């Protein structure tokens, strides 16, 4: 049952029913309501004798919010944890860049919040493509996360009375977002990192920074270890354990330009996917509407400006295309405040996906501003209270904007444009966060579980910490308690095979010795993805991309230039390995986007929209998570479906007019 | 813009380093400093030479990965700005720019501009935490924290562990980093029970890592991209005295 | 698992640390500052004429007599200052050596962003002051470096030494070094002892500047007066 991707109209294979892994959430809570489910499920989980825990080794890849929190918590339980990250310190994981905050259903404001409401909002915000059981648990745990972080010394913003301040964020009608000025992500990560430090000092966690995972070792059908490359010496070695956890973040960098850190990559989850872990909903990407636009060809990454700016700024473009006048020379009646015009009820505060698509639309009409015509104005000249009030609220953001663009946003309107920011898709996991490879767990942005087709603001931090602090310690223990896991020998054929494949791949990259840099390929791939699988997609474009990507990939393997040797700090080699994996992932994203004949959340298919230009979901045919099975490079992947049922939140059309 | 770069090249930690001169043309004022280096590296790669190794990740000034001494100043000439957020419009056509790694015995050079800052992690592991195992936390509102204390703790906690303070200090001391970490926790009620043991252990680890001592010169705070203030060191000194005399 | 430092181990660890040694420097430095300041006040008696000045120096030996026998307090004070000086030098040397080791490879180019000249020259300034103290003792306390030395005739000895212009200039330079040392040292000592704060910082900096200048003017007045012909 193999066919190549390019030779068919539908470059994928629908798994005949009854074949392949059974995709059920594995919730063991028969007859319980959603409120009781996590408790009942936890009661069903196996335990491990405290004295025995130190005999079990857990491999943790990635030490951001999810991985770092899990490594620390598992170490506290007494497990022997071997943690790996590509950064020089766990404190640098990209969780650090989250600005806005973290949601929690504390209802400190007495504004009607509850666990159920946070659950409801998250399912609805995800456009009904998330698993209810997981989302409910997330909302339940949100409350404990705040307690845990406060105990660690996370300096949340406070009121004068000494209580924690909260704010409304991302268009939510409740003030349920906890924050630490504009660096909530950094402060939460420092909390997890400090807990991790304590365990490193205590000897339960063995930390391996500047070490990149390049392969999963699967022995007798179970994940038992990883092959890593020491990024300083180039040494390739294997590490074994009773279970492997991937907390390696998202894959927005497939677009080259994104708000992710330069090092963020898909390698860990893609290698696992190649070894049998299903990849769910890869096309669900989130575009953030307020980023600083691209300034030129040299651009290496995009910078996010907090969404809160839309509370006071007005978004506009000139009514006429190709208008090269300075913004203050364009009279009021020649400006198009398009969000206010199109969405009079919500105006500039429409959700992220809607604001992003509207910006793209006006720029596609040739009315964009700034270099390349890819930008819209965010204007504060008429903001309430004048420059002084604006400075008090957004002073640091204005400084950052000026630092990057060299323009003073108090005098000239800001220019913004949408950018890729988060990926909801990821490895498919069950309720225990275990992938379809037994013993391989996936946490945080790397899994697909909680956000459906669109993530709400301030929910990413919540998910990473819920997975790491509270869910994995329980579910991993169950896996270890329930299974007998004999030690793996370094001579096992599966280990040899994994190491050989890593060595072979590294050598292959070094041997090409072509004429193009890794970055030039990455940029070109990113452009294809942005054009055809970005903010809005259509069948024709996706087919183009599906044809173009293999060509580009072939050229990459034929003509890339990776200087230097393996036995060295070789940043070009690191990048090359990651880009090679992005090439394979990119194809799957396009296939997923093409197969999903509906629009939902961050996935907007131009063919499937309402007459008003809004996303049109197809719940009858697509209320499932699309979990893809790898069949080989260039071969059609096999689609498995996890049916999503909505017993508590009933699907409805979103309307912001 | 046309620039002359004098870049420290050191193939491996153990080998001797030297300055290499690179002429670069067509630099746009809108480029960030690291994007300018990207362009140089692209050319080096295509010319069959080893590109300049430098650490970087988020490129938005928060992860603390990047860091180089640019014309004698850690992170370059702009105040409160990391190297990744420094833009070329702050340089002039024809400028000669010296680029060196952080220089400290505790930060051995790995390659070119990349140094090993693991010593800062060791200081954190020695005591930069509150002993609060997962699950043991009381309800968040059970401890009130005065707004002033929370704000002061936040200001210290804004440290991004980039190591610029060490690079700028004439003594290669990491006291500002250590003090920021100590102050973050000592300014909060949660940090009180372990306060005095923490400061002594962290300072002892700082010293053992091979950093120099603080002589109150203040270059650290002047180059800190997150504007950590010298008063964190005052507070650390006070806590060390308290741990000796009063505890 | 916890990693709290046991209470009993804290004190020695704190004292041994770079911070502890720096605090030792601060305490000994403050003692010396007190001495230097009083010494300067005493020096100003020079302007009251030979008789009064010699009488003052004699009085110093009678201090706290008869609680201590004649001259004992002076020796006690000399002993205390010597110990303080040795500790100050020991701490400075060990810390300096640690700092040197901390940066084995120097920068090709350094730009000071805000460091003051005084703060960067504490070590060489300290060495200059130490050399000066040795000379000063040989010159005015013991005599071998002073051609016209007569024991007990303090005014005359002072004039005999400082009327030689190279000596006067060396003296002025040394006093300048003391001034710079105090300008950074007084502020630094308070910072090191944890007595500084953002609110007090500007005030403490002003005070240390004033103190440094005061000491300079006070001490410099004597050689300047002698060079200008003042003989009591």
pLDDT in tens, A458-482: 999 999 999 999 999 999 999 999 9
Q: Residue A384 has what pLDDT?
A: 83
Contact C194 B71 (CB under 8 A): no
| Chains in contact with chain C (at least 3 beta-carbon pairs closer than 8 A) | A, B
C101 interfaces chain B, CB cutoff of 8 Å: yes
**CATH pick for A492-618 out of 1.10.540.10, 3.50.50.60, 1.20.58.100, 2.130.10.10:** 1.20.58.100
Q: Does A569 contact B185 at a Cβ distance shorter than 8 Å?
A: no
Domain residue limits, chain C: 20-101+117-227
**Smallest Cα distance from A78 to chain C, Å:** 9
Task: Give the B window 198-217 contacts with C, CB below 8 Å.
Answer: 198, 200-201, 203-204, 206-207, 210-217
CATH fold for domain A288-420:
Flavocytochrome C3; Chain A, domain 1 (3.90.700)
Chain B CA closest to residue C194: B238
pLDDT at site A1: 57
Looking at chain A, the domain(s) classified CATH 1.20.58.100 span 492-618
Q: What is the pTM of this model?
A: 0.96
Q: Which residue has the higher pLDDT, A275 or A613?
A: A275
pLDDT band for position A4 (cuts 50, 70, 90): confident
Decide if the complex's ipTM is over 0.95: yes
Q: Over the stretch C19-66, which tens digit does the pLDDT of each residue have? A: 999 999 999 999 999 999 999 999 999 999 999 999 999 999 898 888
> Count of A–B CB contacts within 8 Å?
222
The better pLDDT of the pair A312, A69 is held by: A69
Do residue B124 and residue A194 have CB atoms under 8 angstroms apart? yes
User: At a CB cut-off of 8 Å and minimum separation 6, what does C65 contact?
Assistant: C71, C72, C73
Ramachandran angles phi, psi of C57, nearest 5°: -70, -35
Would residue A270 be called left, alpha or beta, if left means φ above 0 and alpha means ψ between -120 and 50 degrees? Answer: alpha
Domain that holds residue B230: 117-132+143-245
How many Cα atoms occupy the beta-carbon half-sphere of A619 within 13 Å?
Answer: 11
Shortest Cα distance from C10 to chain A (angstroms)? 18
Which of A229, A352, A523, A578 does the annotation list as catalytic?
A352
What's the rounded Cα separation, in Å, for the pair B213 and C122? 14
pLDDT recorded at residue B240: 96
At A629, give phi and psi (nearest 5°).
Answer: -105, 130
Q: How far is CA A325 from the centre of its chain?
A: 39
- pLDDT value of position A459: 94
Total H helices, total E strands in chain C: 9, 0
Phi, psi (rounded to 5 degrees) for A622: -125, 20
In chain C, which residues have their Cβ closer than 8 Å to the Cβ of A76?
Answer: 1
User: What does DSSP say about strands A57-61 and A80-84: parallel, antiparallel, or unpaired?
Assistant: parallel
Angstrom distance (rounded) from CA B127 to CA A592 = 47
Residue with the bigger pLDDT between A611 and B238: it is B238
pLDDT the model gives residue C5: 58
The average confidence (pLDDT) of chain A is: 95
Pairwise CB contact (< 8 Å): B231 & C98: no
B155 within domain boundaries? yes
**Are the Cβ atoms of A150 and B143 closer than 8 angstroms?**
yes
CATH 1.10.287.3510 fits C20-101+117-227, yes or no: no
Whether the CB of B26 is below 8 Å from some CB of chain A: the reply is no
List helix spans (H) across A534-605. 539-559, 571-595
Count of structural domains within chain B: 2
Q: CB-CB: which of B78, B114, B139 is closest to A147?
A: B139
A561 to B45: CB separation less than 8 angstroms, yes or no: yes
One domain, residues B101 and B14: yes
- Provide, as residue numbers in chain A, all residues whose Cβ is less than 8 Å from the Cβ of C4: none
**pLDDT for A178 beyond 80:** yes
pLDDT digits (tens, 9 = 90+) for B162-198: 999 999 999 999 999 999 999 999 999 999 999 999 9
How far is it, in rounded angstroms, from Cα A38 to Cα A139? 11
DSSP C196: -
pLDDT of residue C2: 41
Same domain membership, residue B128 and residue B20? no
Contact across the interface for C3 and A204, Cβ inside 8 Å:
no
Which chains have at least 3 CB atom pairs separated by less than 8 Å from chain A? Answer: B, C
Query: Is A158 in CB contact (< 8 Å) with chain B?
Result: yes
Range 233-252 of A in CB contact (< 8 A) with B: none
Banded model confidence at residue A267, pLDDT cuts 50, 70, 90: very high
pLDDT surpasses 80 at A18: no
CB nearest B219 (choices: C108, C113, C198):
C113
- The question of whether A352 is a catalytic residue gets the answer yes
Lowest mean pLDDT among A525-529, A609-613, B52-56: A609-613
C-chain residues within 8 Å CB-CB of A53? none
Answer whether residue C187 shows pLDDT above 80. Answer: yes
B238 and B157 both lie in a single domain: yes
Residue A114 at interface with chain B, using a CB cutoff of 8 Å? no
In percent, the amount of chain B with pLDDT more than 90 equals 97
Q: Is C5 on the interface with A (CB under 8 A)?
A: no
Instruction: Please check whether residues B121 and B240 belong to one and the same domain.
Output: yes
Partner-chain contact C18 B73, CB within 8 Å: no
Domain A40-286+422-482 adopts which CATH fold? FAD/NAD(P)-binding domain (3.50.50)
Proportion of chain A above pLDDT 70, given as a percent: 100
pLDDT tens-place string over residues B49-83: 999 999 999 999 999 999 999 999 999 999 999 99
A261 to chain B, any CB pair closer than 8 A? The answer is: yes
Residue B235's nearest CA partner among B208, B209, B198, B207 is B198
CB interface of C with B, residues 146-185, below 8 Å: 184
**Domain-located, residue B217:** yes
HSE-CB for A205 with a 13 A CA cutoff: 32
In terms of domains, do B123 and B97 share one? Answer: no
Q: What is the CATH number of the domain that holds B57?
A: 3.10.20.30
Q: Do B197 and C113 touch (CB under 8 A)?
A: no
* Residue B17: both structure tokens together: 């380093």
Within-domain flag for B156 = yes
Crossing angle of helices A539-559 and A518-533, in 10° steps, is: 170
pLDDT surpasses 80 at C7: no
Mean confidence (pLDDT) of chain B = 96
SS3 sequence of B219-246: HHHHHCCCCCCCHHHHHHHHHHHHHHHC
Which pLDDT band holds residue C131 (cuts at 50, 70, 90)? Answer: very high
Confidence of residue C3 (pLDDT cuts 50, 70, 90): very low
User: Is residue B137 in some structural domain?
Assistant: no
pLDDT of residue C11: 79
Distance from CA of A365 to the nearest CA of C (A): 50
Residue to test with chain A: of B57, B126, B195, most A Cβ within 10 A: B57
**Residues with Cβ within 8 Å of residue A305, at least 6 apart in sequence:** A290, A291, A292, A397, A400, A401, A414, A416
The pLDDT confidence band at residue A19, using thresholds 50, 70 and 90, is confident
Q: What pLDDT is recorded for position C8? A: 65
pLDDT score for C148: 86
Q: Is C93 on the interface with B (CB under 8 A)?
A: no
- Residue B196: CATH number of its domain: 1.10.1060.10
Asked if the model's pLDDT at residue A170 lies above 80, the reply is no
Angle at alpha carbon of residue B57, lines to B54 and B59, rounded to 5°? 100
Inspect the interface and report whether the beta carbons of A203 and C1 lie closer than 8 Å.
Answer: yes
Chain C contact for A202 (CB, 8 A cutoff): yes
Q: Which of B19, B217, B240 sits opposite C17 (nearest CB)?
A: B240
Question: In this predicted model, what pLDDT tens digit does every residue of A334-379 receive, in sequence order?
Answer: 999 999 999 998 888 887 888 999 999 999 999 999 988 999 999 9
Task: Give the span between the Cα atoms of A66 and A463, in whole angstroms.
Answer: 8
Contacts of C2 in chain B (CB under 8 A): 131
Q: Are the CB atoms for A359 and A294 separated by under 8 Å? A: no
Contact call for A147 and B78, based on CB within 8 A: no
């Amino acid at each position: 049952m193999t066919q190549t991707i390019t030779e068919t109209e539908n470059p994928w294979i629908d798994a005949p029913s009854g074949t392949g892994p059974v995709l059920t959430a594995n919730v063991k809570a028969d007859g319980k309501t959603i409120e009781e489910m996590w408790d009942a499920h936890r009661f069903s989980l196996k335990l491990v004798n405290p004295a025995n825990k130190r005999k079990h080794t857990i491999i943790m890849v990635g030490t951001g919010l999810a991985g770092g929190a899990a490594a620390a918590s598992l170490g506290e339980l007494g497990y022997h944890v071997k943690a790996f990250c590509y950064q020089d310190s766990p404190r640098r994981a990209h969780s650090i860049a989250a600005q806005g905050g973290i949601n929690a259903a504390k209802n400190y404001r007495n504004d009607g919040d509850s666990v159920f409401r946070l659950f409801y909002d998250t399912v609805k915000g995800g456009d009904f493509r998330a698993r209810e059981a997981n989302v409910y648990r997330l909302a339940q745990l949100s409350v404990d996360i705040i307690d845990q972080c406060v105990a660690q010394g996370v300096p949340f913003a406070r009121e004068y009375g000494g209580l924690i301040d909260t704010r409304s964020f991302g268009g939510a009608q409740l003030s349920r977002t906890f924050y630490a000025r504009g660096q909530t992500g950094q402060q939460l990560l420092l909390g997890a990192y400090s807990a991790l430090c304590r365990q490193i000092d205590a000897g339960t966690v063995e930390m391996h920074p500047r070490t990149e995972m390049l392969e999963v070792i699967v022995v007798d059908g179970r994940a038992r270890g990883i092959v890593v490359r020491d990024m300083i010496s180039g040494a390739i070695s294997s590490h074994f354990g009773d279970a492997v956890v991937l907390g390696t973040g998202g894959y927005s960098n497939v677009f080259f330009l994104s708000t992710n850190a330069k090092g963020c990559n898909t390698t860990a989850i893609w290698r696992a996917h190649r070894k049998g872990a299903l990849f769910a909903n890869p096309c669900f990407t989130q575009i953030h509407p307020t980023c600083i636009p691209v300034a030129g060809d040299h651009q290496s990454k995009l910078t996010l400006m907090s969404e809160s700016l839309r509370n006071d700024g007005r978004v506009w473009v000139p009514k006429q295309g190709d208008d090269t006048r300075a913004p203050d020379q364009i009279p009021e009646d020649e400006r198009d405040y398009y969000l206010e015009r199109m969405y009079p009820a919500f105006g500039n505060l429409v959700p992220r996906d809607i604001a992003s698509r509207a910006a793209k639309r006006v720029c596609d009409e040739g009315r964009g501003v700034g270099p390349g015509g890819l930008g819209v104005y965010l204007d504060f000249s008429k903001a309430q209270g004048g420059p002084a009030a604006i400075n008090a609220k957004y002073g640091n953001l204005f400084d950052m904007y000026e630092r990057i663009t060299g323009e003073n946003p108090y005098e000239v309107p800001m220019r913004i444009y949408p950018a890729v920011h988060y990926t909801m898709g990821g490895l498919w996991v069950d309720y225990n966060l275990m992938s379809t490879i037994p013993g391989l767990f996936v946490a945080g942005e790397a899994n697909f579980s909680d956000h459906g087709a669109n993530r709400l603001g301030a929910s990413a931090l919540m998910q990473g910490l819920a997975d790491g602090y509270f869910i994995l310690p329980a579910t991993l223990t169950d896996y270890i308690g329930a299974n007998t896991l004999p030690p793996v020998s370094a001579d096992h054929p599966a280990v040899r095979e994994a190491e050989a494949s890593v060595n072979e791949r590294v050598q292959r990259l070094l041997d090409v010795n072509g004429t193009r840099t890794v970055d030039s390929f990455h940029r070109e791939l990113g452009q294809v993805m942005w054009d055809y699988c970005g903010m809005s997609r259509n069948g024709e474009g996706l087919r183009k991309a599906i044809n173009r990507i293999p060509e580009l990939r072939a050229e990459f393997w034929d003509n890339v230039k990776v200087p230097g040797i393996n036995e060295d700090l070789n940043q070009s080699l690191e990048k090359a390995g990651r880009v090679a994996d992005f090439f394979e992932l990119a194809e799957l994203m396009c296939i997923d986007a093409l197969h999903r004949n509906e629009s939902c959340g961050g996935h907007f298919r131009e063919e499937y929209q309402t007459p008003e230009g809004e996303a049109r979901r197809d719940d009858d045919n697509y209320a499932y998570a699309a979990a893809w099975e790898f069949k080989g490079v260039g071969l059609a992947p096999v689609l498995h479906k996890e049916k999503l049922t909505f017993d508590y939140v009933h699907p409805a059309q979103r309307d912001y007019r | 813009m046309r620039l002359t770069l004098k870049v420290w090249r050191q193939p491996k930690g153990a080998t001797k380093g030297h300055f290499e001169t690179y002429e670069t043309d067509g630099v746009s004022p809108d480029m960030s400093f690291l994007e300018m280096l990207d362009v140089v590296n692209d050319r080096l790669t295509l010319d069959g030479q080893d590109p300049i190794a430098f650490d970087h990740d988020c490129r938005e000034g928060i992860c603390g990965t990047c860091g180089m001494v640019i014309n004698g100043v850690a992170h370059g000439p702009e105040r409160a700005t990391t190297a990744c957020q420094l833009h070329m419009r702050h340089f002039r056509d024809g400028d000669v720019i010296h680029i060196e790694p952080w220089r400290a015995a505790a930060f051995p050079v790995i390659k070119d501009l990349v140094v090993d800052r693991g010593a800062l992690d060791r200081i954190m592991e020695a005591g930069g935490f509150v002993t609060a195992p997962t699950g043991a936390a009381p309800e968040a509102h059970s401890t009130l924290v005065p707004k002033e204390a929370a704000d002061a703790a936040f200001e210290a906690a804004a440290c991004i562990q980039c190591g610029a303070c060490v690079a700028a200090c004439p003594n290669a001391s990491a006291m500002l980093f250590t003090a920021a970490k100590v102050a973050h926790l000592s300014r909060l009620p949660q940090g009180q029970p372990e306060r005095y043991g923490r400061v002594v252990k962290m300072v002892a680890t700082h010293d053992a890592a091979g950093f120099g001592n603080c002589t109150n010169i203040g270059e650290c705070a002047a180059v800190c991209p997150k504007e950590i203030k010298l008063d964190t060191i005052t507070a650390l000194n006070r806590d060390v005295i308290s741990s000796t005399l009063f505890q | 698992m916890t990693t709290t430092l046991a209470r009993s181990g804290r004190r020695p660890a704190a004292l041994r640390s770079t911070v502890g040694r720096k605090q030792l420097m601060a305490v000994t430095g403050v003692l010396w500052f007190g001495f230097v300041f009083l010494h300067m006040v005493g020096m100003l008696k020079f302007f009251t004429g030979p008789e009064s000045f010699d009488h003052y120096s004699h009085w110093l030996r009678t201090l706290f007599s008869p609680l201590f026998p004649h001259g004992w307090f002076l020796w006690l004070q000399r002993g205390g200052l010597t110990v303080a000086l040795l500790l100050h030098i020991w701490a400075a040397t060990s810390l300096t050596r640690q700092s040197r080791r901390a940066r084995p490879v120097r920068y090709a180019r350094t730009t000071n962003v805000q460091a003051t000249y005084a703060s960067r020259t504490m070590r060489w300034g300290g060495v200059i002051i130490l050399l000066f103290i040795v000379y000063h003792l040989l010159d005015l306390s013991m005599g071998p470096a002073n051609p016209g030395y007569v024991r007990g005739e303090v005014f005359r000895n002072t004039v005999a030494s400082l009327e030689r212009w190279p000596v006067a200039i060396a003296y002025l330079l040394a006093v300048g070094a003391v001034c710079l040392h105090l300008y950074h040292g007084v502020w630094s000592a308070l910072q090191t002892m944890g007595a500084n704060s953002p609110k007090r910082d500007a005030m403490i900096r002003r005070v240390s500047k004033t103190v440094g200048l005061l000491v300079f003017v006070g001490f410099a007045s004597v050689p300047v007066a002698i060079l200008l012909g003042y003989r009591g």
